[in-house]
Amino acid sequence: MTELLSIILAAGEGTRMRSARPKVLHEVGGLAIVGHVVNAAVSAGSTRVAVVTGPGHEAVRETIGTFAPEVSFFEQLERKGTGHAASMARPAFANAEGYVAVIYGDHPLLRPENFRGVLDRLDAGWDAAILGFEPPDTLTYGRLITDGERLLAIREHKDATPEERLIGLCNACILTFRAEVFRALIDKLDADNAAGEYYLTDLVELANDAGYNVSYAVAPEVDVMGVNDRAQLARAEAQFQELRRDDFLKAGVTLKDPSSVYFSYDTEIGRDVTIFPNVVFGPGVKIADGVEVRAFCDIEDVKIGEGATIGPFARIRGGAELGKDVHLGNFVEVKKSKLGDGVKAGHLSYLGDAEIGARTNIGAGTITSNYDGVNKSKTIIGEDVFIGSHTSLVAPVTVGDRAYTASGSTINRNVEPEAMAIGRSRQENKPGYAPKLKARAQAIKNAKSGK
């Protein structure tokens, strides 16, 4: 396999985003924009990936490092254009073999197939190949000046003549070169242009002048959508969601109202899953076959077993694991808990930092009191347990197999298997006392109103 070094340019501040965060850290489908670009480059067969960041962009490096620790980073201290930014990765390309690809880091919908379009041109013998696209409105994009399969130049909009601005083929976001060609040309760039910057795109003319053969490939516009402001970010998110919904529909997932369901970049869903309207999947969700997710659920970082039913109005998060045939009803929240097969929690419960055995029933209004203001503690509930409604389980606490807790109990000591636990005050009835209480309340009300 030919070696491929991918250099991702992610040094821009993105001032049009009006944000304290670097532009490439804004998310599409739950993943930073630059994360999508890194993943596409890796999936396209990159043997090495280098990312060029701006000064003070430690957050960019930290974010990428969480899912791609093999990436190397370089810093562009002065903003002198894309050509200057690419040259900052010199230690990476100085001894590179095979191919070098330079990619703009603000294109979240980029796919491995887009890389393949230009890399195939290099495989066919061309010395360089640039990715283009044909937008309905060319706006301020650089134009590709071609002659048949040959690419003669890329003219930035600021420097293009009126005739060149009529060209409909525009520069996209991937420039590829044979490694030795890239090394031979990168230091020949100059800043003799309207912006006074070192344009990476000038490498095309330099390559032609040096006798190299340059070609191009064309990508669908949607794949190379760039993000420079909040409006473009919203459009990229909308397009991402449309693509994901279509993928899941084709894979055998039923979406009752596709436009109201939102997925993350890594959502995994099995076959014969039904998803009702207004469901949001955050990162880290894996759903097995035959699951039903009812309306208005918020689900993140969870594994859901086969045949489970969730919601409506359920929230699951924090690395939770739900076994087969688990049922969670309305207004149930599960956080960092493991629920065994067949566990049922039908109504109004919070289950945090818990481990619950198979077939256990959780009554309405149950909570695991897992936080003491400083530390989180664990609640362990065995198999075939019946937790009565409105039970508070004060962690750390264990309830044994086949035990019962009485409704309205506060359980702060361990319960033995098959025991019945009652943790509530004894009821006392006072005959004839209710009218006295009502009269007292009425007197207080009259006093307040001045009667």
The set of catalytic residues is: 347
DSSP character for 371? Answer: B
* Interatomic CA distance for residues 230 and 196, integer angstroms: 27
DSSP character for 195? Answer: T
* Interatomic CA distance for residues 322 and 316, integer angstroms: 10
Task: With H, G, I as helix, E, B as strand and everything else as coil, classify residue 171.
Answer: strand
User: Is 213 buried (19+), middle (13-18) or exposed (0-12) by CB count in 10 A?
Assistant: middle
User: Is 271 buried (19+), middle (13-18) or exposed (0-12) by CB count in 10 A?
Assistant: exposed
The DSSP code sequence of 246-283 is: HHHHHTT-EESSGGG-B--TT-EE-TT-EE-SS-EE-S
Residue 339: strand pairing partners: 322, 356
* Interatomic CA distance for residues 400 and 377, integer angstroms: 17
Contact by Cβ (8 Å): 51, 72: yes
Backbone angles phi, psi at 280, to 5 degrees: -120, 125
Number of residues that this document lists for the chain:
451
Q: How many CB atoms sit inside 10 A of residue 154's CB?
A: 26
Q: Are strands 254-255 and 274-275 parallel, antiparallel or unpaired?
A: parallel
Nearest to 389 by CA among 412, 371, 367, 356: 367
Who contacts 224 (Cβ-Cβ below 8 Å, separation ≥6)? 107, 109, 110, 114, 131, 133, 172, 173
Q: How many Å separate Cα 8 from the centre of its chain?
A: 19
- The two structure tokens encoding residue 47: 């043997």
**Residue carrying structure tokens 């919601």:** 311
